[in-house]
Amino acid sequence: VRRVSDRQEDGVRRAMGVYLIMGSTNVPAGIDPEDLLREAIEGGITCFQFREKGSGSLAGEAKLELAKRLQAVCREHGIPFIVNDDISLAVVLKADGVHVGQDDEPAAEIRARIGAEAIIGVSAHTVAEARKALADGADYLGIGPIYPTGSKPDAKVPQGTRLLEELRDAGITVPLVGIGGITPDNASAVIAAGADGVSVISAITLAPSVRDAARQLADAAGIVK
C-alpha cells in the first residue's frame, strides 16, 4: 500500500487538530470566505478543506477562483489545503490533498492521479469501511457524524464516539478526525475517544466570533502551539 511516509504521517496527525471545512454556502451572507478563513487561522486552525457542495454552491470558473483564493491564504500560513471530492480540481491546483466519501473513487485510484506526496482522507462509518480505506492507501480517516449536524442534509445517523473507540481498540493507529456537530463544549470527548482532532463547519463558520471559536476548539483538542 502506498501511503505517505512516517515523517509525513506526523504532519497529518498534527494537521487533524482543528480542521475547518468550508465552502461558499457555509459562510454567512455579506462575509468574504477569505476573511473568515484568515480569522479562523488566527484562532488556531491546523487544516482546511475546501468543500463546495450542495444547493447554491459555485461551479466552473467561480469555484476555481474561490479555491485559488483560499489556497493562497492557506499557503501564506502553512496550513494544508485539502479539496473535497473534486480530484481534478486538486490536481490542477496542486492541492496538499483530497478528502473523499464512500461513494467516490477508491483511494488507490486517487493516489495514481494525485501523486505520492498528497494526503488522502476518506470518510468511514464502520470498522470495515475504515479497514478498506486503509488498505486502499488512505492517510487519515474522517469518522462521523459523531453528533447531530445541520450542515449535511444526507448525513448518516449520529453514532457518538463509539466508532472512534472501536477503531483504536482494533489497533488502528492512523490519524483519525471526528466530524459532525462538534463544538468547543463536546470536542474534548471526541479527543478522549481516540481522535487526533476535530473537523467542523458550523462551530466556526457560524460562530459569533470565528477567532474565539477556533481558539476554543484548539484548546479543547489540546493543541500545543
Rg (CA), the chain: 16
Catalytic residue among 3, 13, 111, 123: 123
In this structure, how many other beta carbons lie within 10 angstroms of the beta carbon of residue 196? Answer: 21
At residue 47's C-alpha, the angle toward residues 217 and 106, to 5°, is 120
Does 201 interact with ligand TZP (rule: CB under 6 A)? yes
Residue 110 vs 203, nearer CB to ligand TZP: 203
Residue 47 vs 115, nearer CB to ligand TZP: 47
Site for ligand TZP in 19-58 (CB under 6 A): 21
Is there a catalytic annotation at residue 123?
A: yes
Burial 10-36 (b: 16+ CB within 10 A, else e): eebbbbbbbbbbbbbbbbeeeeebeeb
Residue 8 vs 186, nearer CB to ligand TZP: 186
Cell numbers placing 180: 459532525
Pairwise CA distance, residues 47 & 49, whole Å: 7
Does 151 interact with ligand TZP (rule: CB under 6 A)? yes
* Residue 200 binding partner per list Mg ion, ligand TZP, none, with a CB distance cut-off of 5 to 8 Å that depends on partner kind: ligand TZP
Residue 79 vs 182, nearer CB to ligand TZP: 182
Using the rule CB under 6 A, give the single segment among 73-81, 111-119, 198-206, 213-221 that binds ligand TZP: 198-206
Does 149 interact with ligand TZP (rule: CB under 6 A)? yes
The site for ligand TZP, by CB under 6 A, has a size of 15
Catalytic residue among 152, 168, 188, 211: 152
Residues forming the site for Mg ion (CB under 5 A): 85, 101, 104
Q: Judging by DSSP bridges, how do beta strands 81-84 and 47-50 pair with one another? A: parallel
Q: Judging by DSSP bridges, how do beta strands 140-143 and 176-179 pair with one another? A: parallel
Is there a catalytic annotation at residue 152?
A: yes
Pairwise CA distance, residues 143 & 130, whole Å: 9
Q: Which run of H or E residues covers position 109?
A: helix 107-114
Backbone angles phi, psi at 81, to 5 degrees: -110, 115
* 150 annotated as ligand-binding: yes
Q: Which residues are catalytic?
A: 51, 123, 152
Contacts with ligand TZP, residue ranges (CB under 6 A): 21, 144-145, 149, 151-152, 155, 179-182, 200-203
Give the residue numbers of the binding site. Answer: 49-53, 84-85, 104, 123, 149-152, 181, 201-202
